[in-house]
Amino acid sequence: MPDPLEHATGLERQELLAKAAGNEDPFDMKVYKRTSGELSNPTVIPSFYQSRIVGCICQEDSTTINWMWLTKGEPKRCECGYFFKLEDAKPMA
């Protein structure tokens, strides 16, 4: 059976190389727990891009997600009052 890494290109190859190096979440899709969420200490969300869509589960027992766009450099307040901020992500290993 051929090795998938030999045939992979582009993003798929980057993902396989990152996983081989021990990074199980190379595209940073994990769920982040909110911090205090104040303007002075927003929850930091890493991104390789200038903007990213983020979902906030405002109440712990909520069955809905409040989606919003974040852009780098400006903290954004969710409807529940928590602040989020987009910052540069570390390069993929």
Q: What SS3 string covers 19-44?
A: HHCCCCCCCCCCCCCCCCCECCECEE
Q: Alpha carbon 79 to chain centroid distance?
A: 20
58 is in an annotated binding site: yes
31 is in an annotated binding site: no
CA 69-85-41 angle, 5° bins: 145
11 is in an annotated binding site: no
Binding residues: 56, 58, 78, 80
Annotated binding site for Zn(2+): 56, 58, 78, 80
